[in-house]
């Protein structure tokens, strides 16, 4: 009995909460406020006034082959010498 009363209470609470949120979200006042807020972002005018930056990233990468250097300086293990037949 208490379980059913508790479930009914939660259901009524959820429905009231949902109804209030729905009513607030779709109210005329909120729609007007949202439209005013969105209209304040005038992107087209701002995009036209942006400066164009020149590309200065030419030849800034230096390729370095660290893998070969690492393999030369790495200490060889005993089992690697057994497996590797090239050396």
Which of 57 and 19 is assigned the larger pLDDT?
19
In angstroms, the CA 65 to CA 70 distance is 9
Residue 36 has pLDDT above 60, yes or no: yes
What's the pLDDT score for residue 70?
A: 83
Residue 68 has pLDDT above 70, yes or no: yes
Alpha-helical runs (H) found in 26-86:
28-39, 43-48, 66-73, 78-83
Domain locations in the chain?
2-40+58-83
Band the pLDDT of 10: cuts 50, 70, 90: very high
Percent of the chain with pLDDT over 70: 90
Which of 35 and 44 is assigned the larger pLDDT?
35
């Amino acid at each position: 009995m208490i379980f059913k009363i508790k479930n009914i209470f939660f259901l009524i609470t959820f429905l009231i909460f949902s109804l209030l949120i729905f009513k607030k979200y779709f109210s005329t006042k909120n729609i007007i406020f949202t439209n005013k807020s969105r209209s304040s972002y005038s992107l087209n005018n701002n995009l036209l006034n942006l400066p164009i930056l020149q590309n200065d990233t030419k030849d800034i990468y230096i390729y370095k082959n660290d893998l070969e250097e690492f393999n030369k300086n790495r200490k060889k293990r005993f089992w690697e010498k057994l497996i590797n037949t090239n050396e």
